[in-house]
Amino acid sequence: MNKVICLLLIIILPFGFLKAQDTVDQGTYHEKHRLQVHFSPKAHWMNDPNGMVYYEGVYHLFFQYYPGGTTWGPMHWGHATSTDLVHWQEQPIALYPDSLGYIFSGSAVWDKHNTSGFGLNGKGPLVAVFTHHNPNAEVERKNDWQYQSLAYSNDSGKTWIKYAGNPVLRKPNSTDFRDPKITWYEDGRKWIMTLAVKDHIEMYSSPDLKSWVYESEFGRDLGAHGGVWECPDLFPLEFEGKTIWVMIINLNPGAPNGGSGVQYFLGTFNGKAFVPLHKETRWLDYGPDNYAGVTWDNTGKRRVLIGWMSNWNYANVVPTVGWRSAMTLPRTLGLIRVGKDIYLTNNPVKEIKSIESRSVTINRITTNMALDMLPSLEKLSIPCKLEVELSRKDDFSFTFSNDQGEELLVGYERETKRYFIDRTRAGDNSFHSGFAKRFFAPDIAGDGATKLVLVMDKSSVELWSDNGLTALTAVYFPNAAYNHLTWRSRKSIARKISITDLNSIWERRDSR
């Protein structure tokens, strides 16, 4: 062989090899409906996010996972990692079912001071606290079948050892007793566990994560109770120089738009009891597809929540093949004042900037307009992000549509003062009778100028308005990609609409 060619091959071959390895397997992450800017596992069933902890520069995301099929089954903890909350790398399964049962939802913390004694060489371990759900005990209607257990890792979350003393917390005659969320309460130098117990939350405390003492309960007579309370979270946020505690409570069914949803309370917490600042029920997201949302541990003052982008009403039957369900975009939580009241806000994490590409801005649009016909836009491509500045709130809508006549609407109704997402004719809705619907969210902020952010992915839409005061998340299943976008308005004036293409997160696979 010619020496020059030989040399070239030596230089090129390793890159070719790397490239082939780095590229996503043919087909995977390119399937019809596969989300391009949201995490979903390569294959099989996923539900709740679990064990989220930030450690040594890596965001860990565990999740309820059934590797044996695409419907709910014996639960494992799947695992994915990211250095930027945007690009995810799936890891080997972290926890398998065992003689105590399936591995249900829970959380993970960095036990910095090695209070548990599970650490090695003076280094604090990662500790996962989860619910063991014993299906045999459930069938036999034993005294209890959900108990709290521990596992720990001394290799940065790669491998996990279950604690020999499991379970660490059980309660006879309490059959809905699950989803422990742990936080370190610095003032009392102790761990706090928030636990969902059917129609209320119970709080326990511990010096070492192994022995737990009952502290108090919350919520029997407050909030929405159309179903079972699940997956709670409790954490502080700084606001106007004060600390406000946020209690997140997931509920299924009974959400404002049917099925599963996330409600929250703001209040105070003294290491023992949570006292709410308001009595009315509030929702973190009014859409049908944001459930089991909880936050990352160990992210300092910043709190980031991620939810499961589905609804128990139809999660098992949505028309995806080989995989089922994705997570929402991670969202930064904050507080905002509206009149005398304080509300929780959620907005997509700033890191999604890293996948933004071509952006087109259209100024001052009043009349109805097919935006995809504008020479500046050329073509609509999904995933994308829309940012809209409105000078006042009046009837308006965006219609995303395809050449098969399917359409998804996002807009505002002046008369009822509500935002909406309408997926009635958005695509396949044959799999569940209640799927084709228009979903509403109240306009908490009221009149005036506003800004909306919309993230459209292949089969999901997320809307944030008024700085994240109102959020609506919904999935939809079009039979062809949407390639048209129309703006319709009566009196609303869009001062500015920016449409930004988003790169697929699966094209770059160098995050840990």
Could you list the residues that contact ligand FRU (CB under 6 A)? Answer: 47-48, 64, 75, 104-105, 131, 178-179, 230-231, 292
Of 22, 25, 48, 447, the catalytic one is: 48
Structure-token pair, residue 455: 């993230």
Q: CB 339 → ligand FRU: shortest distance, Å? A: 34
* Residue 136 to residue 140: CA distance in whole angstroms: 6
CA–CA–CA angle 38, 39, 40 (5° rounding): 120
Q: CB 309 → ligand FRU: shortest distance, Å? A: 12
Q: How many CB atoms lie within 10 A of CB 45?
A: 24
Q: Are 459 and 479 in contact (CB under 8 A)?
A: no
> 124 vs 227, which CB is nearer to ligand FRU?
227
> 231 vs 352, which CB is nearer to ligand FRU?
231
- Of the candidates 200, 204, 236, 235, the one whose C-alpha atom is nearest the C-alpha of residue 218 is 200
> 65 vs 476, which CB is nearer to ligand FRU?
65
> 310 vs 397, which CB is nearer to ligand FRU?
310
Q: CB 305 → ligand FRU: shortest distance, Å? A: 15
Structure-token pair, residue 318: 């949505």
Q: CB 52 → ligand FRU: shortest distance, Å? A: 15
Q: CB 47 → ligand FRU: shortest distance, Å? A: 5
- Of the candidates 35, 5, 210, 13, the one whose C-alpha atom is nearest the C-alpha of residue 115 is 210
Q: 242-253: string of b/e by CB count within 10 Å (b at 16+)? A: eebbbbbbbbbe
> 181 vs 458, which CB is nearer to ligand FRU?
181
Write down how long the chain is.
512
> 64 vs 465, which CB is nearer to ligand FRU?
64
Phi, psi of 12 (to 5 degrees): -80, -40
Which residue reads 């005294």 in tokens? Answer: 143
Q: CB 259 → ligand FRU: shortest distance, Å? A: 11
**Does the annotation mark 48 as catalytic?**
yes
Q: Are 111 and 209 in contact (CB under 8 A)?
A: yes
Please give the C-alpha separations between residue 99 and each of 72, 134, 135, 162, 353, in angstroms, as whole numbers. Answer: 19, 8, 10, 12, 45
> 264 vs 440, which CB is nearer to ligand FRU?
264
Q: CB 336 → ligand FRU: shortest distance, Å? A: 28
* Residue 55 to residue 53: CA distance in whole angstroms: 6
Strand partners, 425: 407
Torsion of CA 268, 229, 416, 445, to 10 degrees: 20
Structure-token pair, residue 441: 């969210």
Tell me the one-letter amino acid at 350. K
Prior bond to 253 cis, omega within 30?
Answer: yes
Phi, psi of 82 (to 5 degrees): -155, 150
Catalytic residues: 48
